[in-house]
Structures are given as structure tokens and as C-alpha cells.
Amino acid sequence: MHKEKIKDIGEKELIRRIAKYMPCNQASDDCALIKTKKEDLLLNTDLMVENTHFNHKIISPRDIGWKAVVTNYSDLISSGCVEFIGVNIGLVLAPETEWQWVQELYEGFSEALNKFGGSILGGDCSKGENKIISITAIGLQSKLKLRRNACKPGDILLTTGFHGLSKLGLLIQTNKINIEEMNLSEELIDISINAFCRPTPKYNILKIILESSEFFINREIGCTDSSDGFYQAIFDLSNESKCKAVVDYPKLPKSYLWPKGDQWDKFYLYGGEDYELLISLPRDWADRLMQISNDIKEIGYFTTGNPNVEIKNYPNNSSLDNNSYSHF
């Protein structure tokens, strides 16, 4: 009898199957919503595993600490977090790990917490062959809920910034790209490495979204971050909301330093770890939001149809397959 392996079913199917053991829609977003009598809480857990997400050759322990907090906070933001409470930290370390590595890791945690709010609430540690960092972040849910399953046909699809930079930073750090042969500028190199090592969550976006509404609308709006990649993020919105997403390629915001070509489009669409937000709003609301923030750009819309992502007006009528990253 054939026994299924995780590498065969993939990450998304794994999540779909284990979601059956959770309350309805609990796995639709990265965050869990916990209702209490006074405040609604958002909880999120992310793992960073040595030789899967990091190693000592490409990123410092201080940057790992910063990034571990920021990745969790980005998920909280994309669900509508209004305030960060803090993080619980689980560590798996080899006994030979030097204390200095751990010290610098916690200095990175502290830098991020001092910047964005919250504190270290506790955690646990154990030994293992590879370093593993597990962060559970806790925040307060605002009255405006951001959810993957809240996109509606007719909504405008918006993004908060550029994509692909973190992917380029990773390729540079791992020496998988020849920066001289590709004639990359020093500015683009620095920006990309910083995007990979020191990402910044969109922590002020909720305030801007509320400011852009004519009056307070107590409703859910579609949103997710692009931690798994631009294309995958939009597909997740489409899939959870049961409608079709249409992206207009010429509208995609790109750094003026970003090279042209199919390879660079693939970095942009499938790279991941950019932590920009993808937001779905009614037309009037979207227009007001873009008037307030020049960084937020319209890139497409949602329409009726089977869950899918159509990229229209792509050069040379080339086809694009979903090459998004999977942990398995």
C-alpha cells in the first residue's frame, strides 16, 4: 500500500488537511483570532529552521532575531492588528552552539520589539541537531478585520510596495547570481540585501486604511502579506474568497533600478519574503486610500469566476506557471 509523503502532497495540501481538526475557517489566515470579554486577540506562530530559512553564511544572528519578530508581526498586521503585545520564543539549539550567537539573536529580537512594540513574554528551549526558532506573536485585533476570505467581485486589488527585492537579496547572499555580469547597481544590491536581512512590516497601514474611509465601516476587507510570494499571496486571496483575481502587468510597481526580462519577472512574482500587503477594497475606498498614500498602488481587481490568478497584458503573451516557494 502506497504511503503518502509530505513532500508529495506539498505545504498547501498539508495545511488543508490538518485544518479539518480546527474550527471552521481557522486556517484561512496565518493568524488565529481569540475572542475575550474585553479585547479580541490575534495569535501567530512562525518557524525559522537552520538550513531551510537561514545559515551563518548568509545572515547574522542579530538579523535573524529581527526577521523572526518582523515576519510574525507582518502576519498580525495583515489580519488587522492594532497593537503588538509581544512574543513567546521557542529555541532548539545544538549543545555546541556558542553563547554569543544566542546573545546576538536576542539583541535582534529586542531591536525589533523596541522599534515596533511588545516584549518577550517567555518561551522554552531544547536541544537538537539544527537551530530552530519558533515565535508566537500576540496582538490586539482592531474593529476593522483584514481577512483572506473577504475579497469580493468588483473590489480593487492594491499593493503597498515593490516585490522581488528579498529574493534578489537572498540570491546575492548565497552567491547564486553574478552581480557584475548582470551589471547590478550598488544601490539595488544594498536595497535587496536589506530587504532580505532587515525587512520592515507595514505597521502603519491600518491607520491609513481607516483614515481613507469616509466613515467607520465595521466590515471585513481582503488582505494578506506577500511572505510566500506575490503570486501565491494573490492566489490565496482568490482561493479563500472564492473569486477570480485579475492582475494588470503594466501596473505592477517596480523599483526604477529593477532590470527587465522574464527572469526578473519570476523573481518579482514568486520570490517571497517581501512582507508587502495585498489589499482588496471597493473602488471609492481604494481611490481615497491611494490619494492618502502614494506608496499604495492599484494593480488589478477581483471578479466572479473560479479561484485563479490571471495576469493580463504580460509581454510577448508568455505564459506564467505558479512557481511559488513551498517548504516541502
- Kindly list the distances between the CA atom of residue 1 and the CA atoms of 4, 7, 39, 111, 283, in Å, as whole numbers in the listed order: 10, 18, 50, 52, 53
Q: Cell triple for residue 308?
A: 485563479
3-class DSSP assignment, residue 186:
helix
Q: What are the domain boundaries of the chain? A: 9-141, 145-317
The per-residue pLDDT for 143 is 85
- Residue 239 confidence (pLDDT) above 90: yes
The per-residue pLDDT for 316 is 66
Q: Find the mean pLDDT for residues 284-311.
A: 95
Write out pLDDT tens, residues 242-294.
Answer: 999 999 999 999 989 999 999 999 999 999 999 999 999 999 999 999 999 99
Beta-bridge mates of residue 90: 124, 134
Count, residues in the chain = 328
pTM value is: 0.89
Query: Could you tell me which of 192, 200, 321 has the C-alpha nearest to residue 255?
Result: 192
Whether 75 and 31 have beta carbons less than 8 Å apart is answered as yes
**Domain 145-317: which CATH class?**
alpha beta
Q: Find the mean pLDDT for residues 5-11.
A: 77
Mutual angle of helices 61-77 and 99-116, in 10-degree steps: 30
3-class DSSP assignment, residue 320:
coil
C-alpha 139/C-alpha 118 separation (Å) is 9
Query: Could you tell me which of 54, 48, 31 has the C-alpha nearest to residue 91?
Result: 48
The per-residue pLDDT for 195 is 97
Write out pLDDT tens, residues 170-211.
Answer: 999 999 988 888 889 999 999 999 999 999 999 998 889 988
Q: Which residue has the higher pLDDT, 160 or 11?
A: 160
Q: Average pLDDT, whole number, for the chain?
A: 90
- Cα dihedral across residues 309, 171, 263, 258: positive or negative: positive
Whether 277 and 77 have beta carbons less than 8 Å apart is answered as yes
The per-residue pLDDT for 12 is 73
Annotate 238-254 with b (16+ C-beta within 10 A) or e (fewer).
bbbbebbbbbbeeebbe
Write out pLDDT tens, residues 97-146.
Answer: 999 999 999 999 999 999 999 999 999 999 999 999 999 999 999 988 99
Q: Would you place residue 53 in the very low, low, confident or very high pLDDT band (cuts 50, 70, 90)?
A: confident
Determine the residue type at 328. Answer: F
The per-residue pLDDT for 29 is 67
C-alpha 90/C-alpha 69 separation (Å) is 12
Whether 136 and 88 have beta carbons less than 8 Å apart is answered as yes
* First-to-last C-alpha distance (Å) of the chain: 22
Whether 187 and 256 have beta carbons less than 8 Å apart is answered as no
State the fold for domain 9-141: 60s Ribosomal Protein L30; Chain: A; (3.30.1330)
The per-residue pLDDT for 217 is 61
The per-residue pLDDT for 1 is 45
**Lowest mean pLDDT: which of 26-35, 60-69, 256-265, 287-296?**
26-35
The per-residue pLDDT for 317 is 55
The per-residue pLDDT for 73 is 97
Q: Cell triple for residue 130?
A: 539544527
Helices (H), the chain: 6-18, 61-77, 99-116, 165-173, 186-197, 205-212, 230-241, 262-270, 283-292
CA-based radius of gyration for the chain:
20
Q: Which residue has the higher pLDDT, 17 or 250?
A: 250
